[in-house]
Structure 1
Amino acid sequence: MTFSLDVRSHSEIGLVRRNNQDSGYVSPRMLVVADGMGGAAAGDLASTVAVRHVALADERFAGEDSPSRPQGEEMLTILAGAVADANDELADLVAWDSSLEGMGTTFCGAMFSGTQLGVVHIGDSRGYLLRQGRMKRMTHDHSWVQSLIDEGRITPEEAAVHPHRSLLLKVLNGQPQHVPDTQIVDLRLGDRILFCSDGLCGLVDDETIAEHLNTATLDDVVDLLTTDAHAGGGTDNITIVVAEVVEADPALDASQPHIIGAATTRKVPEHEVTAPLSVDHPSATRKDAGESTVLFDSEAEESMRYAPVDSQNRRRRHWLWPVVILALAAIVTGGIFGTRAYLNTQYYVGTDGNAVAIYQGSPDSLAWIHLSHVVETTDIKTTDLPHYYRDRVSENIRVSSMESAHATVAELRTGAQQCKAVRNKAATPTAALITPSMTPQPSASGSGAPHPSAVPTPAIPSPTSAMPSPSASGHEVDLPAVSSGDC
């Protein structure tokens, strides 16, 4: 049994930006969102190039005499091929006009076979699938903060407000090493599909998106999502493509392709390396000429892209190498500054020789590069600590701030002083005459519940016995109370 797609789409500038650099494309077979970036370096051009190549790939399957819809892996071959062609053209454009260096675009979309989606994704635009009221992401962000979430360094909630949440690791920008993710998704009747730019998913949380996707009509879904993106600040362009899997409908299957966003007005300039040639291309002429929604210049035969290039153009292509090197240097420099900014917010308590110390950065290392340094050394000796405390410090205690580090050090100091008191008392001749106290010790977690030590603790009068445990204030590091057996 095959299905059809009932589709709605929307793209706008938002409340802050001066122009729309997002583009989108929808047809009975294709759903695509591309979020251009680069500002003055033509992010709108990059997203337009991506949508242009999708439209060309989709055009082969439109009309009564067209081939049957691709199935399974063939969908991925066609859509990923269109993405690769778009990436090649971005490289050509930068080589032709160096002022375009820095432009790029995300790509998030799918080809529809009638029963499956062939999803292709690169960047941080997202694809969602809602089934029987439950939503899941079909894509995984190629962003710096997502890599931190994957490594367990930050939470999704922290990622939403991270200062470098816009830093992307993979986009379409003419670089051959940026390969998109692909997957096949089986569909069921009633499923809803959402592709969007981060003007929506960067401002509206997944729980709210899922709630709106459950709304009765697709028009209401688009309206509610757009309204919430505005309520979140509307700080970026907003592009939404939403579709519902319905029973096969010839009218829906015959609907015309539709382009939204920057690609409706942005023209791709004819550039020297892959300039369109004057050839007859009957399939480029639409039956409803004058009502075409594809606003691109005519295209050369696909084979002409691989025709020999004259020597003058070949010499021009050599200028691409300095551009590539500069782009890679910019990416590396941005990564270094981004990493440094992140490490400046990280702290942990560890050892410096035989002393407890506070470090800024990460205890991990990158090859021979240390990612942390001592910011404060204490007078606490690791040999004075209880065994458990000593093990924790030797493994490094991660904390969220300098204040938390000081609280942890205070807790370690209390444990060291208690152990020193126990050892000093045990060394005196009267130690054996002390009656063990079975008085429950306070819990280090600060819950207030009695927590008797597994080993009787000598009732030792000492200055430390009156010191409150820092963990009792709700401190994030939970170190247990100290008993004589711990020392």
Structure 2
Amino acid sequence: MLLNTEAAGLSDKGLVRVKNEDVWDSLPEENFFILADGMGGHQAGEVAAHKTVETICKMVKAYSFSIDLKQQGRDELCSLVDEAIKQANSNIYRMSDSDERFSGMGTTVCCLCVRSDFIVCAHVGDSRIYRLRSDELSPLTCDHSLAMDLIQSGQMTQEEAKTFKRKNVITKAVGIEASIEPTLSVFDVQEGDTYLLCSDGLTDYVNQELIKENLLKDDNLTRVSELLVEK
């Protein structure tokens, strides 16, 4: 079964970046939400992000028409999202390999699928999903990045990572390799949970405590989105 959900989204290049390569979308009937942050020269990053979001949403929609997506369990939903991300990876990799305009393009992606008693989170790269529950903000994803690898191996602290010159180097992205393994996780759901999907365009400039403060500041999700972008 599906929960009644409310969603809002906003994407902006901000005050630092020259162009905006973030793309987001939602499928309200399926309670499915997705964000991608592209990379690559010229407009290639934007193309990668758009194509990835388009491919994944198309597969989720097609699946929901053929089978009642609302009734699917955890394993079935995980398999669907995993397959959709892998298909997007194949599409982007093929485009990059066959057209020099798109050579080397890729994108991060994070997806959230909400059900009455659980959620499925999936991600590739350093775009993140957070959960706000009882005034506590928790990351539900772990970055596929050089900095995170060094932190997990004990070679760097979280504090040192903030000033690490290569903190934006990611170790996994959609479209860079011929095959990919997304990270998928399942979590329980509680009434009142709030979820945030965001790229490093937010997390590089706004720390977790400030993100939490803004999420708690207003019940209107559109205004919250605007507050976060303004930071």
The 5 A counterparts of 1:436-475 are none
Task: Kindly provide the amino acid, as one letter, of the partner of residue 210 in structure 2.
Answer: T
Shift of 1:95: 2.7
Partner of 1:226: 229
Q: Which of 138, 141, 159 in structure 1 is aligned with 2:140?
A: 138
Hey, what's the Cα distance between the residues in 1 that align with 2:85 and 2:120? 13
The 5 A counterparts of 1:376-387 are none
Residues 1:34 and 2:36 aligned together: yes
Q: Is the 8 A contact 1:41 1:102 kept in 2?
A: no
Instruction: Between the two structures, name the one with larger relative contact order (CA 8 Å, sep ≥ 6).
Output: 2
The SS at the match of 1:8 is coil
Shift of 1:110: 1.5
**Structure 2: 5+ residue runs without aligned partners?**
none
Hey, what's the Cα distance between the residues in 1 that align with 2:59 and 2:114? 13
Partner of 2:61: 59
Partner of 2:201: 199
**Percent identical:** 30
Shift of 1:160: 1.4
Hey, what's the Cα distance between the residues in 2 that align with 1:39 and 1:109? 25
The SS at the match of 1:14 is coil
Q: Is the 8 A contact 1:41 1:101 kept in 2?
A: no
1:115-145 superposed Cα distances (whole Å, 9 cap, x missing partner): 3211111100111011111111100011111
Hey, what's the Cα distance between the residues in 1 that align with 2:43 and 2:228? 29
Hey, what's the Cα distance between the residues in 1 that align with 2:129 and 2:210? 15
Q: Is the 8 A contact 1:31 1:110 kept in 2?
A: yes
Hey, what's the Cα distance between the residues in 2 that align with 1:3 and 1:152? 40
**Structure 1: 5+ residue runs without aligned partners?**
229-487
Shift of 1:202: 1.3
From the superposition, tell whether residues 144 and 191 of structure 1 become closer, same or farther in structure 2 (CA, over 3 Å): same
Hey, what's the Cα distance between the residues in 2 that align with 1:208 and 1:166? 20
From the superposition, tell whether residues 195 and 133 of structure 1 become closer, same or farther in structure 2 (CA, over 3 Å): same
Hey, what's the Cα distance between the residues in 2 that align with 1:122 and 1:2? 25
Hey, what's the Cα distance between the residues in 2 that align with 1:223 and 1:16? 16
Partner of 1:173: 175
Hey, what's the Cα distance between the residues in 1 that align with 2:50 and 2:179? 21
Hey, what's the Cα distance between the residues in 2 that align with 1:9 and 1:71? 27
Indicate the RMSD between aligned Cα atoms, in angstroms.
1.9
Residues 1:10 and 2:10 aligned together: yes
Q: Is the 8 A contact 2:126 2:145 kept in 1?
A: yes
From the superposition, tell whether residues 41 and 227 of structure 1 become closer, same or farther in structure 2 (CA, over 3 Å): closer
Partner of 1:337: none
Q: Which of 101, 115, 118 in structure 2 is aligned with 1:116?
A: 118
Q: Is the 8 A contact 1:110 1:119 kept in 2?
A: yes
Hey, what's the Cα distance between the residues in 2 that align with 1:36 and 1:111? 21
Hey, what's the Cα distance between the residues in 1 that align with 2:2 and 2:174? 33
Shift of 1:81: 1.0
1:229-283 superposed Cα distances (whole Å, 9 cap, x missing partner): xxxxxxxxxxxxxxxxxxxxxxxxxxxxxxxxxxxxxxxxxxxxxxxxxxxxxxx
Task: Kindly provide the amino acid, as one letter, of the partner of residue 84 in structure 1.
Answer: K
Runs of 4+ in 1 over 3 A off after TM superposition: none
Aligned positions, number? 227
Q: Is the 8 A contact 2:36 2:107 kept in 1?
A: yes
Partner of 1:74: 76
1:185-207 superposed Cα distances (whole Å, 9 cap, x missing partner): 11111000001010001111111
Hey, what's the Cα distance between the residues in 1 that align with 2:97 and 2:63? 32
Q: Is the 8 A contact 1:117 1:186 kept in 2?
A: yes
Hey, what's the Cα distance between the residues in 2 that align with 1:174 and 1:82? 16
Hey, what's the Cα distance between the residues in 1 that align with 2:223 and 2:153? 37
Hey, what's the Cα distance between the residues in 2 that align with 1:161 and 1:178? 29
Q: Is the 8 A contact 1:60 1:67 kept in 2?
A: no
Q: Is the 8 A contact 2:96 2:175 kept in 1?
A: no
The SS at the match of 1:106 is strand
Q: Is the 8 A contact 1:93 1:100 kept in 2?
A: yes
Hey, what's the Cα distance between the residues in 2 that align with 1:39 and 1:17? 14
TM-score by length of structure 2 reads 0.91
Shift of 1:114: 3.1
TM-score by length of structure 1 reads 0.44
Stretch of structure 1 that moved more, 78-87 or 54-63: 54-63
Task: Kindly provide the amino acid, as one letter, of the partner of residue 68 in structure 2.
Answer: P
Shift of 1:62: 6.1
1:136-181 superposed Cα distances (whole Å, 9 cap, x missing partner): 1100011111111112222222211211111111111241343110
Shift of 1:99: 3.1
